[in-house]
Amino acid sequence: MKDKRYMKEALHEAKLALEADEVPVGAIIVYKNKIIARSFNKNQQLHNPLAHAEMLVINEASRYLKRKDLSDCELYVTLEPCLMCTGAIINAKIKRVIFGAFDLEKGSIISNEQFESKGIIWIPNILQKECSQIISNYFEMKRRN
């Protein structure tokens, strides 16, 4: 199934975030069955609270395609998008968003329903166990240290 294959790519990005001591969230954008953007959270690295994986890949995909309308793209992200990222997804007109783990605290799509679907197809729980585990392990490690 293509969703699992692409989510594995987003998980790879989350693992890079973990290695960089960032909250391990990874994202990719797919256009015509090709990955055109990939990134992970870089809040610490860039000293920027806006540097979420989703924001970074939306910027990268827009530069790659030389346009702001990403309605023919799909976003794969390991964690349910927050309010800020959901706003960016809506503004970019991304029609299909696939995510792994729910974010019960900050997730704005299903966990806290801060937005109507706005015509976006939200597909949760793709590789949910793996996506949840990397986040859980990270915060468990932080609490121990």
Instruction: Give 51's DSSP letter.
Output: -
Smallest Cα–Cα separation from 52: which of 44, 71, 4, 129? 44
116 is known as an active-site residue? no
Per annotation, catalytic residue among 9, 19, 22, 54: 54
Q: Which long-range contacts (CB under 8 A, 24 or more apart) does 110-116 make?
A: 110/80, 111/80, 114/83, 114/86, 115/83, 115/86, 115/90
Catalytic residues: 54
